[in-house]
Amino acid sequence: MKEALFYEKLEENKVLCTLCSHLCKIKDGKKGVCGVRINWGGKLYTLVYDKVVAQDIDPIEKKPLFHFYPSKKAYSITTVGCNFRCFYCQNFEISQYPKGVHWHEKDINPEEPEPICPLLEKMIPGEKVTPEQIVEAAKASGCDIIAYTYTEPTIFYELAYDTAKLAAEEGLKNIFVTNGYITNDALTAIQPYLHAANIDLKGFTDRFYKRICGANLQPVLESIRTYKELGIWIEVTTLVIPNLNDSEEELRQIAEFIKGVGEEIPWHVTQFYPAYKLIDQPITPITTLRKARDIGLSAGLRYVYEGNVPGEGGESTYCYNCKKLLIERYGFSVLKNIIENSHCPYCGTTIDGPGL
C-alpha cells in the first residue's frame, strides 16, 4: 500500500482526508466513504494504488467528450471504489465493491511493520500495474489519450497523478470522467497534467444528491467552476431520470448554471436505463431529451447533445453561428468531420475545443 496524498493528522490517531469534498474524519483502522483509503496508525493509505481492475481502449466520444480530439482512442483504466453511491450506477459491481469489504479488529495491527497487512491487499481486487506500465501500454496500443474513468478517478488519485505526469512527459493527454467531488487543492495539483474532463452534474437539488448519490450539490458546482478557472477543457453530462431530475425547472437551472460558467461548455443530456437500485424506473423518453436540448440551446449554450439515443440526430455537432452540420456522429462513431483548423468551413466561426 502507498501513503495517500491530501490528509491531515488529528488527535487520537485520527486523520482528516482532504482529497474529496466529503472531508472524511477517519479513525485508526477505518476507511473513508470511498472504501479505498484507510487510516493505519495515524497515517492515511490508498488501497488501490496498484490495483487496476479494468484496462480498455475506448473512443473518446464514449466518455463522452465531443470537443476534445474527435475520433481519437483513449486508453481507459480504473480501480474499485467510489465516493458516491448512486442508485443507478452502471458499474456498481466495482464502484461499490470495497464498501462491502470488512475485516475484524483482530486482523488489524497498526504496529505491524510494512507490508502493513497482507489481508488488506487480498481483499481488494485488481491487477498489479505500475504507472510506467500503464503509459507503455497506452503507447503500444496507439492511444494518444489516457482516461481515468468507469468508477471515480478522485479515489485512485495517487495512481492517476503519477500516471498522468508520466503520460504528459511522453506527449499523451489525460482526461477524467468524474463526479466532480474533488477538492480544489487536489485538482490544482494535477492540473498541469490533466487536459480535459467530463463532469457529471447529476441534478440541481441537494435532495437529489443526498438521496440518490450520497453527496451534496454545492461542491460539484464549485468544482466545475474550478476546472474552468484552471483552463482544463470540460464537458458536462446530466443523466436525465424520469420523475427525479427531469422537470423543466431543474433542467433550465442546470443549463443556466453551465452557461454562467461558459457558453462554450458542451452539455450532454443522456437517456437513463434502469440499473442497480433503480430498476423499476422507466427509460427516459426521447421527447424529454429533446426538451432538455431545446432548454440548453435557449439558455445560450452553444452545444447540447442527446446521449444514449444513436441515430436520433442530437449527437452531431452544428456550427452555433450558421447552424450547418460539422461533425456527424452515430453513437460513438464519427461519420464525418469537416471542421477546418477549429473553424466552420461555411462561415469561419471558431468551434470550441482542443484538437478540432
Say which residues have a Cβ less than 8 Å from residue 39's Cβ, sequence separation at least 6. 13, 14, 15, 26, 27, 28, 29, 30, 31, 45
The C-alpha cell that represents 222 in the structure block: 464549485
- Same structural domain for residues 302 and 213? yes
- Same structural domain for residues 239 and 162? yes
- Same structural domain for residues 84 and 35? no
Query: How buried is 288 (Cβ within 10 angstroms: 0-12 exposed, 13-18 middle, 19+ buried)?
Result: buried
- Same structural domain for residues 111 and 256? no
- Same structural domain for residues 137 and 182? yes
313 band by pLDDT with thresholds 50, 70 and 90: confident
- Same structural domain for residues 85 and 112? no
Q: How much is the pLDDT for 117? A: 54
The residue to which cell 462554450 is assigned: 264
Instruction: State what percent of residues in the chain have pLDDT above 70.
Output: 94
Q: How much is the pLDDT for 113? A: 42
Range of the domain at 209: 54-97+127-314
- Same structural domain for residues 138 and 199? yes
- Same structural domain for residues 239 and 339? no
Q: How much is the pLDDT for 6? A: 98
Kindly report which listed range (109-123, 255-269, 276-290, 322-336) carries the lowest average pLDDT score: 109-123
Average pLDDT for 184-197: 98
Give, in degrees to the nearest 5, the angle at Cα 52 between 138 and 107.
Answer: 160
Tell me the per-residue pLDDT of 67-90, one tens digit each, with 9 for 90 and over. 999 999 999 999 999 999 999 999
101 band by pLDDT with thresholds 50, 70 and 90: low
- Same structural domain for residues 116 and 220? no
Q: Do the beta carbons of residue 240 and residue 292 sit within 8 Å?
A: yes
- Same structural domain for residues 150 and 222? yes
- Largest Cα separation within the chain, whole Å, is 71
Q: How much is the pLDDT for 100? A: 72
Which of 198, 197, 215 lies closest to 206, judged by CA? 215
Q: How far is CA 158 from CA 5, 25, 288, in A?
A: 7, 19, 39
Q: How much is the pLDDT for 123? A: 80
Predicted TM-score (pTM) of this structure: 0.94
Domain count of the fold of the chain: 3
Instruction: State what percent of residues in the chain have pLDDT above 90.
Output: 90
Distance CA 108, CA 174 (A): 37
Tell me the per-residue pLDDT of 212-268, one tens digit each, with 9 for 90 and over. 999 999 999 999 999 999 999 999 999 999 999 999 999 999 999 999 999 999 999
Q: How much is the pLDDT for 246? A: 97
Long-range contacts of 298-302 (CB under 8 A, 24+ apart): 298/255, 299/252, 299/255, 299/256, 299/258, 299/259, 300/259, 300/263, 301/255, 301/258, 301/259, 301/263, 301/265, 301/266, 301/267, 302/263, 302/264, 302/266, 302/352
Q: How much is the pLDDT for 105? A: 46
Average pLDDT for 38-50: 93
Average pLDDT for 297-305: 98
Say which residues have a Cβ less than 8 Å from residue 96's Cβ, sequence separation at least 6. 35, 82, 85, 89
- Same structural domain for residues 134 and 176? yes
Q: How much is the pLDDT for 115? A: 47
Q: What is the mean pLDDT of the chain?
A: 94
Q: Is the pLDDT of residue 133 over 50?
A: yes
Buried b (16+ CB within 10 A) or exposed e, 102-114: eeeeeebeeeeee
Q: Which CATH number does the domain housing residue 149 bear?
A: 3.20.20.70
- Same structural domain for residues 203 and 290? yes
Say which residues have a Cβ less than 8 Å from residue 336's Cβ, sequence separation at least 6. 325, 327, 328
Q: How much is the pLDDT for 32? A: 95
CA–centroid distance for 295 within its chain: 24
Distance CA 98, CA 156 (A): 13
Q: Do the beta carbons of residue 89 and residue 163 sit within 8 Å?
A: no
Q: How much is the pLDDT for 119? A: 62
